[in-house]
Every structure is written in C-alpha cells, then in structure tokens.
Amino acid sequence: MAQRRTYALVLLLVGLVLVAGVGVGWWGLKRFLAPQMKIVLRGSSGSSGRLGISGGDLVVVAPKPGVFFGTVRKPGTPEQLTYVILFRYGRSKSGGGGGHGVQFSCKTDARSAQTTDAIELNGQRIEAAYRVELDEALTGVTSETLTIGGKPVDAKSGRVFLIDLAADAPAYRQKTADLPPIPAKLETTADVERLADAIREGLERQDPEIKAFLR
C-alpha cells in the first residue's frame, strides 16, 4: 500500500505535524544561528513494502558546522545514507534580514520513493533531492538519482558535500568517503543525533579536508 508522508514543523506552534499526502513543510528558524543553539530534527519519512526512505534529517550544534542527510532502505539491503551535506553558516545578520527555515517532503509507493529537502539561511539555500525506482519484481533497483543544489550529481563520485554559506560565493564540494552503517532504525531525534555524530567522526578520520572543515 502506497504511503506518502510530509512533516511540517512550525516554531510558533511548537509542534510536529504529520500530514498524509503530498506536500511541503516549513519550520521557521528565527534564532537558528544564536550562540549555543542546538537544533535536531527528524525529517520526513515513508515506506512501502521493501522500500523505505527519509530526508531532511538535521543536526546543528552551534558553532559547529551543521549536518543534513537522508537515508534509503532498498530490497534486501540495510538502510544506508543517500546524501550528507556538511555546512558552515556563520552568524545571522543584524536586523533579521532574510528568511530562515527548513523544508522537506517525501513520497513513496510500491516501486519508487523520493525526498525533496531544503534549508534556507539568510537568503542562502541548501537543497537535496533523491529518487529511487525498483524493477517490476520489486527486488532490484532500476534507477537512482541524486540532485544537490538543484543540479544532478553522480553519486559514484561521492555522497558527501561541503558548503560554506558564509563565503562570498558558496559552492558545493563533492567528496568520496565511506559512510557509516546505520545501526538502528531512525525513529527519534536522539537517533538522528547519534547518527550525525557517527558521520562526523567517521569522515574526520578519513579525510583531512573534511576534518579541517568540521573544526
């Protein structure tokens, strides 16, 4: 049975709302860049039969760079990461100019699943979209696409991306690196935070450039 889920988080309501169907959720982050701010979000998720997907999982512990990621569970394989975006964000501009928010949605049915996720900070936007399609027997993958910043990328060249939103001209840097296994089903924000910590630790050990970016 096809399932479609979209999460909408609204700061003023201080709540998490689950909406069945196709849609988009926005969470206002007016104090997102405040000193010592900690944000941990479980993004959207959905499953249908042997196929499961999530996107828009977010961990920010200021002043460290943020971690934004998605996952997929394909037939016969454990859940794995679809993309990891590590981002620097600087401090919010005085006067409160520019919007801040998180947007994510997902769709699933028996043969396909997709997520569309975005963060907006002071006019700068991070975007990630992932889609997977299965064969008619629902046992194998026929296609898999990843889009970062509105542009298709080759996931074989790496699923890790670095971006400094405080730079004059922010640009994604794609990195090849081994990503950690997902030890348990992501159900709570505590699960999301633990996985983000594992991602950081694993990437720091592998790549000096990533280690410098995260410090």
Instruction: Concatenate the DSSP letters of all residues of 90-103 into one string.
Output: --PPTT--S-EEEE
Confidence of residue 183 (pLDDT cuts 50, 70, 90): confident
- Among the listed ranges 7-21, 53-67, 134-148, 196-210, which one has the minimum average pLDDT value? 7-21
Beta bridge partners of residue 152, listed in sequence order: 147
Which of 24-33, 44-53, 117-126 is predicted least confidently?
24-33
Lowest model confidence (mean pLDDT) among 35-39, 49-53, 141-145: 35-39
Of 15-24, 73-82, 141-150, 180-189, the range with the lowest mean pLDDT is: 15-24
Average pLDDT over residues 139-153: 96
pLDDT over threshold 70, residue 81: yes
Please compute the mean of the pLDDT values over residues 62-70 and round it to a whole number.
93
How far is 14 from 36, CA to CA, in rounded Å?
A: 19
Residue 148: pLDDT above 90?
yes
**Helix or strand (DSSP H, E) at 190:** helix 189-206
What's the pLDDT score for residue 7? 35
Residue in 42, 66, 38 with CA at minimum distance from that of residue 164: 66
Q: What is the pLDDT of residue 172?
A: 97
pTM score, two decimals?
0.83
Are residues 126 and 137 in contact, defined by beta-carbon separation less than 8 angstroms? Answer: no
- Please say whether the beta carbons of 102 and 41 come within 8 A: yes
